[in-house]
Structure 1
Amino acid sequence: MDDIPDAVLAALAGPVAAALPLLVARTPAAPAVELGRLRAAVDGLAWPVRPGSGSHAAPGGLRSRGRRGPGGSPVLDALGALEELLVQRLLGALELTVAELDLTAAPDLTGFLGEPFTGGYSVVSMGRKSEAVTGAATLERIRPGALPLVAALAGRLATHPHIAAVLEVDPGATDEAGIAAAHGAARLALGVATAAAVLHRVGIGAWATEPPTVLGAGIGTAVLLLRAAPVPDGYGAAVLARARAEYRLPNRSGGSALVSEHRFALTEGTDVPRADFTGNGLVAVVPGGAVIRTGVETGHVGFTLVVLDGPPPDVETIWEEVVEVSWRATGSGAAVPGPHERAPDPRRCTPPWPGDYRLRVHALGRDEPDDRGSEHYQLMVWQAPAAPEIVHARTDRLGHRLRGEPEPVRPERPEAVYRWLRDSSIGEAATVTVAIGTAVADVVAAFGADPARPESARALVDDLSRRRSIDPWVAVLDLGGAVLAVEYNGWQGSTAPVLIRASAGGRAASMYWNVNAVTRLSFAEHGELLLAVEPSGDLGAPPALAAALGDLDFADRHRDRRRMGLVAVQGFTGHGITAEHLARIAAADVAFRIVPDLPALHPDRRPRADHPLGPGIDVLTGLPEPRLRDLAWWAAAEAARYAGLGADPDVAASLAARALTPDAVRRARRSQLDDGEHRTFWLALHQATNPDPVTAVLATVHAARYVAGPHAADLIAGARARIA
């Protein structure tokens, strides 16, 4: 597009320049700020930019270096890099303004597009993309040269004397958001005005001049302009001023540090310089920060950055290496560059003002670089005069090697035998249960499964995936003297009824974990539950578990609770799980569907201000138990009536006996499965059996009103009348 004559460009500059003030005035501040930060984010200057708002875009020129859009267009690429909500906000704000623009004086540009396609066409749109994105994509398909023409003309117009002055940010603006907004709004206006002028004067047709199409082309072009435009004068100073004004102490942050060649840095720059670690074996001070020596060669390590307003407390004993050094800051704020960050979040930096600082580096897990996730660092920073280096702890083997000292002999932690767990099929979520003294079939039955009905585990998983079901199932393995039960993403083995039944002939223990870091460690012996807790801190374990728990420190937040829990299960039962066991289970391809137990019933006297009985709740505690039982079973009978199950033999027998019959129990348990029937009704019937009469009334009425559906008000009114 460089062959466009200067005369044509000059003729276009006038109407485009005239349209800019109106577009700038109509552009909302918030999206203008987001646009204005695009190039600043690439240059490492911007205030944090929301993911998806262009912070991953490549800088330089009006050509995209990233993936191509649907039509291979840099404009579509740039438009697609924006968060959809931002595009929608701009479409809503400027849609009517585009129709007001007077571009009749723009020159005829028909000759710059070449011959149009001939014949008919149809447009099919799937999904719910913004009209601006759909319009620009349709334009690219039908007239491929239109978007490049808009981008090329806007790029040249940006330097035209009539327009360049409009694009300049007012030198009086000093705040970061104000500068970014002015910068973004001006280039957005140029992109939209150019798009409107071009699409009105290239002879494509009226459909191409619709506001969504114009704005799609204009917004994408504006992103390209902003990537190419230099950061406004004074913006870097404004970012620093805002960071200083908003910085608060103490400040705690953390994340994942990118490691290369055994090192990462806390630095005011972007480079991680080479350093000599032979002095203390952990940290080396460099201009603008410090470099930390890691055990892992390449990858990521976890870190925590703690900025204090004074000296930190004493060093915790959990750390293996701790070294304290001094460094001088220039005032821009040092940070640990993350794996996906172009510009560090100013709120995750050291104080953005100059001076002398102390840095205390804590390291853990450097001797186990192959055990991903075990290596962690804590960086403590506070302002203090320069002082000599202090070594608080020097116990890991790597530090001794780097310092040229004999390596210490350190026993391996017991949970290290479960390193393989992380990358296994049960690494994210599972329950592992081991039972001794109980036959395989009895363990299967203890889970609520039928040992006479095995099926293919692969087929079962495929069936559940197809139905998007989380129905429970279990796979078992005879270890010779013990039974290993594994639930992939299941939890039944962590429940008291299952463990009590599984331990009837001896002992049973389980360890449960899920993707949300929820865990549960449980033990039972001869049908008695000994302990079932979230393993954290002091477990409050009975003496019978002392040997099984050994020196496992569940209070140490840097040790893997899943692995320690499996060590405890092994210590209690004498058997653990191995990768070879999982392989055998997979090869056997045998699984059993579980029919889960009904929820445990406990007294619940919590205040329930939102309960449908309202003020009637306070009266319940003064009623005699027989009357409370009558009320609970009345609610259960009403639930049966509303569900149309009053004549069902199992239901009628349970209501008459005021207890679930064995057949009713089986049906109630099955109702909890995805294909179960009348789940809420069976829950109401089950709740009526609660040993605590007040809870029985509250829970049964609560469940019954859902069964009643549109008649819930009548049920509640009947319950209140019986309380009065």
Structure 2
Amino acid sequence: MEPVLAALPTVAARIPAAPVAALGRLVAPSGPVDRLRPAPPRGSPVDQLLAERLLGALELTIPDVLIVVPEVLARHVRARMPQTPAAVAGLSASGESETRSAVALLDQVAPGLRELVTGLVAALAGHERVSPLLEAAPGAEHEVAAAHGGVHLALAVVTSLAVLRAARPPIVGSDPPVVVGVALDAAIRVLRQRPMPDAYAVALRERLRADYVLPRFSAGDVPVQEHHFALVEGDFPAVAAEPSNGLVQVVPGGIVVRTGVPSAAVPVWLRVVGEEPAVVELDAWQEVVDVSYTAVDGAASVLGPAVPAPAHLQGQTPPWPGSIRARVSARGRDEHGDGREGGERYEIVLWSAAPADEVVHKATDRLGHRLRGEPEPPVAPRPEAAYRWVRNTVLGMAATVTVVTGSGPERVLAAFGADPTEPVALTELFEEGGSDPWVAVLPVGDAVLAVEYNGWQGAQMPVLRLASARGRAASMYWNVNALTNLSFARGGVMLASFEPPPPDAPGDAEVIAVLEGLELEDYHERVEKCLVAVERFTGRGLRAEDLERIEAAGVAYRILPRLPEHHPEERRPDGTRRWSKPDPLGPDTDALLALPEPALRELAWWAAAQAVEHSGLGSHPAVSASLATRTLTSDADVLARTSGLEGRGAHRYVWLALHQAMNPDALSAAIRALDAARYAFGPDASAFLDQARERALGR
């Protein structure tokens, strides 16, 4: 005991605070301080980076520490040492730290010695003469954590040094690397079992308050048991009754939410904001209730009755006492949380506010009616439920489904730009991967289904115009980035094409009718809802058995994509451009509005000709014919469309420049031909654009 007490101050004074603060947080409350903890060591009990920093600080001190090893300790240690040292096969792996190598060698030549050190450190830490020396004084959070970790590490260093000097293990002896490695291992093990200092709770609370910033958002799956989860301070509270509002009840320090699913993990979004949201979001939720609760200390966590939620949902509320307003929203409780999009999920929005009465903004699910003692509303199956199966197929992440009436498969394939005489095995197309488009078709009664796996040609207006020439066509496109597009065409005319929900009411009455009641403003199951709209418009939708038939047939068709549609340059009432892009000439692009139409047309074809010359295609028959006639010949059209395919075409931007120069709108032709041509020039684009400015604007 006396040697330890004598050496402890010297070693403690040499331990730097910064690296050991992480050690001092080993048993701190989880959640907010997790990012400050040391990373779990991999493949060794020694945290390599931390050990090297400490070795650098202590390697000159350790040899000078005077410790008289008591005979009782020496006998005890020697009794634990093996009588015949184990053979050592190798010293260290390349690039391994000194401390890690030293500890690995110690385990070979003196197995069990590390465990002995750990046991002694734990016993000393609890001794009545040592324990008071390990208390940390009040201070800032990092100071208390550093003092707590540092003094325990110092105790471990002194104990490790005494044991190693008594044992004199072969090869490693009591050299600084093995002392530090063994001490760090022992300190980590002991600290995990020791309580935090009395001063730490106050210090941590002050740090959390100083670091807390609004707004904040976190989300995760929360473990539910017995139909409940909570947002509370401390442990899960006892819940004796059902919530009178059908969703949420207030408990000391938080709230408890009633779920539909009895036991599962449900998605929960948690938002903490500075003030009450200006709008109550109702479209996406079936139940929305505001309640007030009083925070005792703050920093409440989302948790289940038996299992905590993920760390990023812990300690997220404001870390100070006061009145909190909570808006709890729920959907899917009647579906018992089947894990699908549109299943059971919750949002909790919090802000500081004076206590107020409970407000029920929306109460529409059947579970809520039962809990409130109200008659349940009649079951009204949602039409989109018929398409939930799509999410669990190969189409789930990204696809386009197009339904066409009035035409057979050959005409539909031609509309897509595919050759009906050239089928390709589905397996071959899947193995190729890449972004080149292809489509599979299936006749079903009076309609044709066209399915693109991760493709989007069916969402293009030229395709839908051609496909609908003898009837109707509608398509739904979605991808992994949540981008979507819903389109309708009839008799070769586009009626509507938009990313749902539509920004404005569609102009066609029939399109308005097929969207009725689908609630596209609610993003949940939006793909499924739009597939319902496609079916309503065409009279036929995609069925699970249809997809099975397509895959059983095992064929599809490569698509030669159609060139982009020509659009006029939109102008505001004052004559200026509505959209600022593209802007090949930068701010000078708007100066083109002052040019007469003939000058704009000449500029467009000059840009295309410059791109042709730069690329060396001037002698190509299809190119020269297109420049001469100022239109794409049939051969040129095929080459232009092929240029966008992987490994099958070339000079994409040259062909686009020629295509854009044909735009009936002269202003759009000039701007877009210049834009395509500058990409054809690549690194030489600046010189080309300078020429364009001089030619068009004289500057």
Shorter-chain TM range is: 0.7 to 0.9
Q: 1:325 to 1:121 in 2, by over 3 A?
A: closer
Distance 2:587 2:280 in 1: 55
Unaligned runs of 5+ in 2: 68-73, 571-576
Output the amino acid matched with 1:515: V
Q: 1:425 and 2:394 equivalent?
A: yes
Q: How much does 1:486 deviate?
A: 1.7
Match 2:201 to one of 228, 236, 248: 236
Identify the residue that residue 652 of structure 1 maps to in structure 2: 624
Q: How much does 1:574 deviate?
A: 0.8
Match 1:414 to one of 369, 379, 383: 383
**8 Å contact from structure 1 (residues 435, 484) kept in 2:** yes
Distance 1:638 1:194 in 2: 82
Identify the residue that residue 678 of structure 1 maps to in structure 2: 651
Distance 1:98 1:357 in 2: 48
Distance 2:152 2:620 in 1: 73
Q: 1:573 to 1:616 in 2, by over 3 A?
A: closer
Q: How much does 1:565 deviate?
A: 0.6
SS at match of 1:569: helix
Identify the residue that residue 538 of structure 2 maps to in structure 1: 573
Q: How much does 1:347 deviate?
A: 6.8
Q: 1:486 and 2:454 equivalent?
A: no
Distance 1:345 1:470 in 2: 39
Q: 1:700 to 1:186 in 2, by over 3 A?
A: farther
SS at match of 1:454: strand
Q: 1:264 to 1:654 in 2, by over 3 A?
A: same
Match 1:599 to one of 564, 568, 575: 564
Output the amino acid matched with 1:658: R
Output the amino acid matched with 1:39: V
Q: 1:49 and 2:35 equivalent?
A: yes
Match 2:316 to one of 340, 344, 348: 348
Q: 1:39 and 2:5 equivalent?
A: no
Report the more deviating stretch, 665-674 or 405-414: 405-414
Cα-Cα RMSD: 4.9
Q: How much does 1:522 deviate?
A: 0.9
Q: How much does 1:550 deviate?
A: 1.8
Distance 1:458 1:262 in 2: 46
Q: 1:347 to 1:451 in 2, by over 3 A?
A: farther
Distance 1:583 1:675 in 2: 31
**8 Å contact from structure 2 (residues 15, 54) kept in 1:** no
Q: 1:547 and 2:503 equivalent?
A: no
Q: How much does 1:369 deviate?
A: 1.9
Distance 2:9 2:557 in 1: 73
Alignment of 1:155-166 (within 5 A): none
Distance 1:686 1:167 in 2: 83
Q: How much does 1:307 deviate?
A: 5.5
Report the more deviating stretch, 371-380 or 232-241: 371-380
Q: 1:387 to 1:354 in 2, by over 3 A?
A: same
Identify the residue that residue 127 of structure 1 maps to in structure 2: none
Q: How much does 1:322 deviate?
A: 4.8
Distance 2:578 2:101 in 1: 59
Q: How much does 1:224 deviate?
A: 5.4
Distance 1:454 1:140 in 2: 66
Identify the residue that residue 117 of structure 1 maps to in structure 2: 88
Match 1:373 to one of 333, 341, 349: 341
Identify the residue that residue 301 of structure 2 maps to in structure 1: 335
**8 Å contact from structure 1 (residues 328, 355) kept in 2:** yes
Distance 2:157 2:603 in 1: 70
Match 1:364 to one of 310, 331, 356: 331
SS at match of 2:413: helix
Identify the residue that residue 573 of structure 2 maps to in structure 1: none
Q: 1:346 to 1:646 in 2, by over 3 A?
A: same
What is the TM-score with the length of structure 1 in the denominator? 0.75
Q: 1:143 to 1:307 in 2, by over 3 A?
A: closer
Q: 1:546 to 1:638 in 2, by over 3 A?
A: closer
Unaligned runs of 5+ in 1: 1-5, 58-63, 80-86, 125-130
Q: How much does 1:394 deviate?
A: 4.5
**8 Å contact from structure 1 (residues 23, 94) kept in 2:** no
Q: How much does 1:358 deviate?
A: 5.5
Q: 1:344 to 1:287 in 2, by over 3 A?
A: farther
**8 Å contact from structure 2 (residues 660, 672) kept in 1:** yes
**8 Å contact from structure 1 (residues 507, 573) kept in 2:** yes
Identify the residue that residue 488 of structure 2 maps to in structure 1: 523
Identify the residue that residue 534 of structure 1 maps to in structure 2: 499
Distance 2:615 2:629 in 1: 19
Q: 1:170 to 1:487 in 2, by over 3 A?
A: same
Output the amino acid matched with 2:411: D
Q: 1:317 to 1:17 in 2, by over 3 A?
A: closer
Distance 1:615 1:288 in 2: 58
Distance 2:633 2:501 in 1: 40
Output the amino acid matched with 1:264: F
Distance 2:564 2:216 in 1: 43
Report the more deviating stretch, 400-409 or 378-387: 378-387
Q: 1:225 to 1:607 in 2, by over 3 A?
A: farther
**8 Å contact from structure 1 (residues 337, 344) kept in 2:** no
Q: 1:667 and 2:639 equivalent?
A: yes
Q: How much does 1:441 deviate?
A: 1.7
Identify the residue that residue 264 of structure 2 maps to in structure 1: 299
Q: How much does 1:450 deviate?
A: 2.0
Identify the residue that residue 368 of structure 2 maps to in structure 1: 399
What is the TM-score with the length of structure 2 in the denominator? 0.78
Deviations 1:570-629 (A, max 9, x none): 111111122222222222222222222233444385887996756754654444444444
**8 Å contact from structure 1 (residues 19, 193) kept in 2:** yes
Q: 1:437 and 2:409 equivalent?
A: no
Report the more deviating stretch, 236-245 or 569-578: 236-245
Identify the residue that residue 611 of structure 2 maps to in structure 1: 639
- How many correspondences in the alignment? 665
Highest CA radius of gyration, 1 or 2? 2
Q: 1:689 and 2:662 equivalent?
A: yes
Match 1:474 to one of 429, 439, 455: 439
SS at match of 2:334: coil
Match 1:459 to one of 393, 414, 428: 428
Output the amino acid matched with 1:679: R
Q: 1:311 to 1:518 in 2, by over 3 A?
A: closer
Q: How much does 1:529 deviate?
A: 0.9
Q: How much does 1:539 deviate?
A: 4.3
Match 1:24 to one of 12, 16, 21: 16
Distance 2:398 2:206 in 1: 46
Alignment of 1:303-322 (within 5 A): 303-305=268-270, 318=283, 319-322=285-288
Q: How much does 1:233 deviate?
A: 3.3
Deviations 1:146-205 (A, max 9, x none): 99967875785688699989995852423x344445556777899999999999x97769
**8 Å contact from structure 2 (residues 300, 314) kept in 1:** no
Q: How much does 1:487 deviate?
A: 1.8
**8 Å contact from structure 1 (residues 320, 395) kept in 2:** yes
Q: 1:431 to 1:164 in 2, by over 3 A?
A: farther
The percent of aligned pairs where both chains have the same amino acid is 45
**8 Å contact from structure 1 (residues 44, 342) kept in 2:** no
Q: How much does 1:525 deviate?
A: 0.8
**8 Å contact from structure 1 (residues 436, 481) kept in 2:** yes
Report the more deviating stretch, 104-113 or 309-318: 104-113
Q: How much does 1:445 deviate?
A: 2.2
